[in-house]
Amino acid sequence: MKKHNFFAGPAILPAEVLSEAAQAVQSFGDMGLSLVEISHRSKEFVAVMEEAQQLTKELLHLPDDFAVLFLQGGASLQFAMSAYNLMRSDGSGAYLETGSWAKKAVKEANIIGKGHVVASSADTNFNYIPKDFTLPDDADYFHITTNNTIYGTEIRDLQPMVDAAKAKGIPLVADMSSDIFSGPIPASDFGIIYAGAQKNLGPAGATLVIVRKDILGKTDRAIPTMLNYQTHIDKDSMFNTPPVFAVYTSLLTMRWIKKHGGLQAMQARNEKKADLLYNEIDRNSLFEGTAAKEDRSLMNATFVMPKAELEPAFLQVCTEAGLVGVKGHRSVGGFRASIYNAMELDSVQLLVDVMQDFEKKNG
């Protein structure tokens, strides 16, 4: 039976990417060696890294004053790393608190200095994106989390965030781990963008970090070598051994995105899938969406059953149909269907069909 992968991460990748990546593990190019055993300083892998950096800039329309890095440690390390590099020793960072990962970013900022929460949706279990906030005059940067996998919300319009940071003359920092490359963004208006690869880009192990170079070197604090962006910029992401397989697979995914029309095409693809699923959630008498409609994520659709006693039965029929990963995050329950770039419309249609059939039998 075909499996339809709705897991939030590590998440679905395009079939052709998986096939090519698997081949590279056996034999990479004409080297007669596995990708995972070649030197990261070989001309073959240097070419991989350079193309991955170039293609990131091409897809996001980034000018030359941005550096593209492939690091390790996930977005969780970037919570601290971004603060280390931007926050003055007596300074602060402004944070929009929209979910669990945003809360963790604030926690790391408070270890280093002060993480100032300018607005939060914690009052309603993070089911919306706060729109009304004021950035403090002394903030060194403004940090946002663009998509919240657990709660199914997404900042669909980034311009107000860009404008708020520009008005204060501070860099805008974004954790885009779960919606990077899902559609066009004003990337050149950001100071830092970081994203764990394992949602929409590649396997776990690599973290894409995009830095506007002129914002660095302004803090008066001592930064540990491995946490200093300049360290990795100077060495083209090879200060230490990079995660070669994850970087290569991310490159393959970006090639796939470009081949299939770029970010505009990804957005259209994702909107079509999301509309199909959300329309059924809203129509079906057995299900309810959990996120405010205007803030619903194109990547992670979250929903519940008012008749909670039916949840185990619904999960069982999903399993029988080959729909895996539909169970909601343990902290919120219910259901979550992650529909990243690589998810096919047919898979979403099958989930909708199962929902409709379940309603006929249990409604």
For the chain, domains (ranges, CATH) are 15-259 (3.40.640.10), 262-362 (3.90.1150.10)
Identity at 319, one-letter amino acid code: T
Q: What pLDDT is attached to residue 344?
A: 98
pLDDT band at residue 353 under the 50/70/90 scheme: very high
Q: What is the CA radius of gyration of the chain?
A: 21
Are 315 and 322 a contacting pair, CB within 8 Å? no
Structure tokens at 304: 């519940």
pLDDT tens sequence across 117-155: 999 999 999 999 999 999 999 999 999 999 999 999 999
Q: What pLDDT is attached to residue 330?
A: 84
Are 277 and 344 a contacting pair, CB within 8 Å? no
HEC string of 239-303 equals CCCCCHHHHHHHHHHHHHHHHCCHHHHHHHHHHHHHHHHHHHHHHCCCCEECCCHHHECCCEEEE
Residues 6+ apart with CB under 8 A from 119: 96, 97, 130, 132, 133
Structure tokens at 37: 């055993």
Distance CA 274, CA 345 (A): 9
Structure tokens at 188: 């050149």
Average pLDDT over residues 5-16: 96
pLDDT band at residue 203 under the 50/70/90 scheme: very high
Q: What pLDDT is attached to residue 333?
A: 87
Residues 6+ apart with CB under 8 A from 134: 118
Identify the CA nearest to 339 among candidates 329, 331, 330, 349: 349
pLDDT above 70: percentage of residues in the chain: 100
**pLDDT of 256 above 90:** yes
Q: What pLDDT is attached to residue 332?
A: 85
112-141 core/surface letters (b: 16 or more CB in 10 A; e: else): bbbbbbbbbbeeeebbbbbeebebeeebbb
Q: What pLDDT is attached to residue 85?
A: 98
Whole-number mean pLDDT of the chain?
Answer: 97
**pLDDT of 331 above 90:** no
Q: What pLDDT is attached to residue 21?
A: 98
Active site residues: 101, 175, 199
Residue 349, classified by CB atoms within 10 Å of its CB into exposed (0-12), middle (13-18) or buried (19+), is: middle
Distance CA 257, CA 270 (A): 13
Tell me the CA distances in angstroms from 118 to 84, 135, 268, one per residue in order: 20, 6, 32
pLDDT band at residue 363 under the 50/70/90 scheme: confident
Average pLDDT over residues 348-358: 98
> Chain-centre distance of CA 170, in angstroms?
23
Q: What pLDDT is attached to residue 133?
A: 97
Structure tokens at 67: 């550096």
pLDDT band at residue 1 under the 50/70/90 scheme: confident
